[in-house]
Structure 1
């Protein structure tokens, strides 16, 4: 009963269930679709982060890139983005990635897509 109440509270707050916590290990990433959004979710240093799943420089799915520490490399032109805040760390990209609010509760990962 308590879990259902917490889940309902998150949903009422605009959060969307993405996956169970054990579905994404340390240093791993996964791509999820939320409505029209492609979102990349990754776990780094025990925390879960969510950013745009498409490179801001040229259309490329970032899940096909590499994640090294907090640096997410685009597979197309090797731009590097900070997974924690979406900032560009290395070009050729010059626009940061959008970042989504993530919460992890009761072994579940939830994100909030704010319009």
Structure 2
């Protein structure tokens, strides 16, 4: 790990985003990775990371609801699958970008 809080793995840069115990089951947090807003959530024991801004109306998704694997936008209730960013329910028609996540030694790292 370098002093900036990043980890170099196989030519990919991961950024430390949170201690593992700060993202409880069924909860989400918002983090910044560079200029990107990212939502990090734990569902069924696995940590996932997707764009934090709705592709439909550009609302902050961390203000929405997470039910099982469905992330609901607080503005128009578009639903995205937190596991793969796909649209489950409109009005959104563009998926969210998905970020690679690594959980290691009590820390959550996101590639970005």
| TM-score using structure 1 length | 0.89
Kindly provide the CA deviation profile for residues 14-50 of structure 1, in whole angstroms up to 9, marking residues without a partner as x.
0100110001100000000111000000000000000
Name the structure with the higher strand share. 2
1:1-115 matches, cutoff 5 A: 7=1, 11-13=7-9, 14-113=13-112
Aligned length: 106
1 or 2, which has the higher helix percentage?
Answer: 1
Which runs of 5 or more structure 1 residues have no equivalent in the other structure? 1-6
Query: Deviating runs (4+, > 6 A) in structure 1?
Result: none
- Inter-partner Cα distance in structure 2 for 1:97 and 1:70: 14
RMSD of aligned Cα (Å): 1.0
> How much has 1:12 moved relative to structure 2?
1.7
Unaligned runs of 5+ in 2: none
SS of aligned partner of 1:12: strand
Distance (Å, rounded) in 1 between the aligned partners of 2:8 and 2:61:
30
For 2:62 and 2:85, the matched residues in 1 are separated by: 14
Residues of 2 paired with 1:12 and 1:65: CA distance? Answer: 32
SS in 2 for 1:11: strand
